[in-house]
Amino acid sequence: MATPIAVRVLEGHLREYRHTWRGTTISSIATPVLFLAAMGLGLGALVDGGRGVDPAGDITYLAWLAPGLLAVSAMQAGAGDGAFPVMAGLQWIRTYHAVVATPVRPGDLLIGNLIWATIRLTVVGAVFVGVAVAFGAMALGPGLAALAPAVLTGIATCAAVSAFMATRKSDLAMSGLFRFVIVPLFLFSGAFFPLSELPAMVEPVARLNPVWHGVELTRGVALDVPTALHWAIHAGVLSTVFVVGTFLGSIAFARVLRA
């Protein structure tokens, strides 16, 4: 039986990963350690000494921050996977052009990339959860459960960024994307402070940020069990971004690769 074409693309990523896993694994451990230490412990001491993030006082800033960080780091990793490899494949090294000269179609290529991003984000997220558990910032069970919404946040971003980058010719677009889109979405995602702390006029705008939905759902799963309504709203927004991103992305890939 023939191997599904997207799976053949995935196999390529896995073979590549054999050469790169050391470097990426080290950075995927170092980043949460640094963030949890600096913000969770350092900033957390300040926050918990003041008004705190939980009116009841049960939840420390560290425990509140950890799932938010899990979601936004998945989002950043997803953005990275949607930007650099796509730019390299379509414009810089043009490896995608060689791939689609085989039975692989542009859509298979994108879907293979997204399956790979899902696996990679799950691995990186699991490492994060391990680190957070060691910090006492997360319980293992809820932490692992929170991987699902965090990974969804990451691959939704990956699909949307892939679609956007496929329409660009120069890498200027990439630095612009990170500076003016990814960084603001990251800062105003509710990962570091509750959006309710923002001025009343800004808060509703910040709630339009799809990453906030990812942070809310991931935090909900890690700290408590969200209601079905919460799940439906947040997962609905993220899934919509994922589906629309994938759809537009396969059109954009075909436009470049099948011109």
Partner 1 sequence: MNNSPSPNGSPAPLVEARKLVKRFGDFTAVDGIDVEVQAGEAFGFLGPNGAGKSSTMRMVGAVSPPTDGELKVLGLDPVRDGPQIRARLGVVGQDNALDEQLTVGDNLAIYGRYFDLPRSVIRERIDELLDFVQLKERRDSKVDPLSGGMKRRLVIARSLINDPDMVLLDEPTTGLDPQARHALWERLYGLKQRGVTLILTTHYMDEAEQLCDRLVVMDQGRIVAEGAPSQLIATHASREVIELRFPPGEQVNALPKLDGLGEHVEELPDRVLISSNDAEAVVREVHTRGLEPATVLIRRSTLEDVFLRLTGRTLID
With binding defined as CB under 8 A, does residue 27 bind partner 1? Answer: no
In angstroms, the CA 204 to CA 231 distance is: 20
- The angle that helices 210-223 and 147-165 make with each other, rounded to 10 degrees, is 160
With binding defined as CB under 8 A, does residue 22 bind partner 1? Answer: no
Contact 133, 143 (CB under 8 A): yes
Residue found under tokens 């009841």: 56
Candidate residues 46, 56, 101, 201; the one interacting with partner 1 per rule CB under 8 A? 101
User: Which of 78, 126, 108, 124 minimizes the C-alpha distance to 10?
Assistant: 108
Contacts with partner 1, 142-181, as mask; x by CB under 8 A: ----------------------------------------
Minimum distance, C-beta of residue 98 to partner 1, in the bound complex (Å): 4
DSSP 203-234: HHHHTT-HHHHHHHHHHHHHHSPPPHHHHHHH
Candidate residues 38, 98, 183, 225; the one interacting with partner 1 per rule CB under 8 A? 98
With binding defined as CB under 8 A, does residue 95 bind partner 1? Answer: yes
Minimum distance, C-beta of residue 180 to partner 1, in the bound complex (Å): 30
In angstroms, the CA 1 to CA 138 distance is: 44
Nearer to partner 1, 19 or 22 (CB): 19
Kindly list the residues in this chain that would bind partner 1 in the complex (CB under 8 A): 2-3, 8-9, 11-12, 15-16, 19-20, 93-105, 257-259
